[in-house]
Structure 1
Amino acid sequence: MSVTFKLQDFEGPLDLLLYLIEKNKMNIYDIEISAITDQYMEYLEDSSQIELEQLSDFIVMASNLLLIKSKMLLPKQTKVEEESEEDPREELVRKLLEYKKFKYVSDKLHECQSASYTYCFRNSSAHIDIPEVSIPYDEILENVTLQGLYRTFQELIKQKEWEIREKSDKKIDYNILRKDVYTIEQKSIYILQLIKLNQKTSFFEICDKNMPKIELIVSFMALLELVHKKKIIITQVDPLGDIVITGGCECDEN
């Protein structure tokens, strides 16, 4: 009992053509296009269960086969100059050979994948035996001199010092990131306490040049606030001299 193949059993028109060529034991380079076309059309007749989208490729191939068949049936015209006439089957043969190669590779990959399912691998890392290789120290050190070794050592020292400097330059200064909190109220109390203890103070004593910028700004704003509230009196003898700060008429006991 022979096996009956339906059109849906083939992956595409080229797959069907290869089956027909092998079934009829034809040479792929010399296809009997008339017989192949007739058998191909018989398979298309049994295509009622195939969707149109899947059938479209088979119909296109059928039209190409009919075109090639018609060209093969036409009588050959004799020409004065002998020219090699192109075989209408040439393009079809090229596509079939290319498809056959891809089909062969695909089948081999599928076999490898199926075979891999029969193996079970442990999750442990594979142990690789690396053979010991004898190092020819005499050949390596043949042209090495003490002076050359010293120069190489000096270069390594310089490289190490450079790496240390690079790391030092990239080191984060956490003092910069430290949050300094100064308030006008705290500075105002501090200024008034200095005046209470010493009867007076000065601008340069309160606002030192080594202060952080934010502390300097807050101290100056505290002075302005105390002047505005008339809690201190400021006087300056010389235009560029120090400013003397004393208690004002509204100075409290702080």
Structure 2
Amino acid sequence: PTPDPDDGKFTVRLHNFEGPFDLLLQLISKHKLDVTEVALSRVTDDFMAHIRGMGPDWDLDQTTEFLVVAATLLDLKAARLLPAAEVEDEADLALLEARDLLFARLLQYRAYKQIADIFQNRLESESRLHPRTVGLEPHHAELLPDVVISIGPEGFAKLAVKAMQPKPKPQVYVDHIHAPLVSVREQAEVVVARLRELGNAAFHELVADAPDSLTVVARFLALLELYRERAVALDQDEALGPLIVRWTGPEDGGTPMVTDEFDTPAVEREKDEEGAAQ
């Protein structure tokens, strides 16, 4: 075996094989070459001479590959030369497991080598490609669309006037998010009329015709005002039971005095309180 004069790789030259060392292993693994006919000792001696000839520049990767391939070939050759017998000793079984492990490493090594070759070819092909970094050619860069003016001087004047006019301040209208107010005084009149007619009634009867929850709240506040004016009495037989409202005011006459503090907007009430405090 001698190194190749071009790339310095180790090449095996025997009477029955000539080529790269890893190719020798591939042929043996595919049963295209008998491992017993390969002089591994001669191959090893020549490889050591090849490494010594490289001097301090010897390749560690190439040496590692040789050791892996040589160890696998040696194990395969030993398995072929030794007689096969039934394995009973644990040590022999361990040797067989080691041989299988070496063969698996060989397959893994070959797969990695093929992938490395693929990456190397891709890197070489991509290194010859260069992105375009220049701009457009002058005759393309000078191409501009024609300016089409569809309005005259008067149109430009109107656009200028519109652009110079002050923009109105943005306004946020919140009227639509407020429900209409319900008058407590008006609902008090409804409650008084109903109680004068019935004499007494449960609270749920007084609010049965209320169109919404605000009306129910207004009638409840009106009921509290009437109770404060001693115009109604409240009876409840059991806790959380129905609330019975009994009319105790005059049968005739107007509606008892009900304060309008609930009907006054909050802003006006604050102004009135501030004026009273001053």
Calculate the TM-score normalised by the size of structure 2.
Answer: 0.32
- Per the normalisation by structure 1, the TM-score is 0.34
Q: Highest CA radius of gyration, 1 or 2?
A: 2
